[in-house]
Structure 1
Amino acid sequence: MTQRRSRRRLLSWIPISIVALICVGFVVAALLMQNSWWIDDDRPASADQQASDGMSMLTDPGVDYLTRKGILRVRVGEDALPAAELGLEADGSRTFEPLTPVQAVVIADDGAFYVDLVRSFTVTTAGGRVESVALVRETNGDWLSMLPVLQDAAESWGWTDEDLARLEEDLTSAAHEGDGKQYSAQLGPVEHNGALSSATVDVDLDSSEVTVSFVVADAGAGS
C-alpha cells in the first residue's frame, strides 16, 4: 500500500514537471529572440549573412537574413565577388527558396534589375564567378495575369513594347499547339545594363499556375 501511494505521488508530479519544462523553454526562447537579429532591425549583418560588398551571402544564415530583411542582392559581371566568398561552389547551380517572397535586386556592370515577390531563385556559377541569376515569380490563372508584372518590369529589364507584344503572340501560338495544357514562351534575351536579360513564361492550365523566370546573365561569360 505504501509503495502504491508513493508511485501515485510520483506520477502526479510528472505532468506538472513537463508543463514546467515547457514554460522554461518558452521563457528561454523569448529571451533569445529578444537578442536575435530576426526582430532587431538595427543589428548589423554578420560575415556569414552579408558579403563584404553588401551583397547577400548565399549560405543558410545568409538566406535566413535576406528573408528577414525581405531583399535579395546579387551582383554579376566584372565587379562580382568570387563565388567562394558568397558561399557558392566554383561551378554549378543552387536553388534557394526563402520562407516568404522577397524583392530581388541584381546588379550588373551598368545598372540594376528588380523583381518583387520572388518565390525562389537559382544562382549559377562558372569558373568561380556568378554567371547568371534566375528569379521565379508565380501567379494563378492564365498568362494574362502575369502580363502586368512583365509590363512593370520592362523598363528596368530593357524590354520594349514590341518585345512584350511578340511575347503575347508567342504565348497565344503556343497555347494552340500540342494539348494546350502546358506551354511556354521566352522574352529576350536582350543586352541591358551591361548584362543579358530574359524571361520565360511557363503556363500549366491543369494547376492554373503561371510561372515567370526572370534571368540576368553575365554578358561576358563564355567570351
Structure 2
Amino acid sequence: MKSGSEGDVEIRNIYCVGRNYADHAKELGNDIPEAPMLFMKPTHALVHGAKKTLDLPADAGELHYETELVVLFKEAYSPEKTLQEMIGQAAVGIDFTLRDRQEKLKQKRHPWLTAKGFKYSAAVGPFFPFDEKQWQTTAFRMEKNGEIVQEGSPGQMIFSLRELVDFTGPLLGIGPGDLLYTGTPEGVGKVEKGDKLALYYNNQKAGTFWIETT
C-alpha cells in the first residue's frame, strides 16, 4: 500500500508497541511490561498525509486516540546496522483504538485485532528525516480542538528505539517499507465527530486529521 503523496512510499507491515510509557500504562490500570508488547495493524488501516478526514466507527463504543512517534524503515534489519542505516524517516501518528471493545477482548484474553485494526485506525502525518543523534530529545504532541492533550519524547520510553528494533527484527523481521509505532504517552482520550486533531514534531506542524463517524 502506498503511504500517500509525501514520498510515495510502499508500506508493507505496520508494527505497534503497547504500554511503552509508564504513565500511560498506569492511567489504564495496566502493569508495566517486562518486554516490548507488540501487535500489528493491517495495511488498509493506514491513512497518510498532511490533511485528512477520517471516517471512523461510531457504533462500537468509545473511540480513543493514542499519539505516537512512528519510524519508517529503509533497509532490512541487522543487529550490526545502526538505526540511522535502517531507518529513513520519522513522523507523528495516531493509533486509534475502540476502547470498549479492547477491554472486552482483554477480559477474555483474546487478541486486540478488531479493536485496533479497523479501517483508518493508523493515521500518520508527513515524514521527516530521521536523525539518530537527535532522536532521544525529539518532542511530539497532539492538540485536540486547539488544546494540548498529549505530549512526549523518546526519553520517556520504557524500551528505547534500539531495544524495540532489536526485539522486533529477529522475531518478526523488519524490511524496507515497514512502519513501527513506538508507543503512546499518558493523556489518551475519546474522539468524537467533528474533532480536529493537530500533530506536531519538534514544534513543526506534522499533520491534521478531522474526525467523521458513520
* Shared fold (TM-score, shorter chain, > 0.5): no
Bigger relative CO (Cα 8 Å, ≥ 6 apart): 2
TM-score, with length taken from structure 1: 0.25
Larger radius of gyration: 1
Higher helix residue share: 1
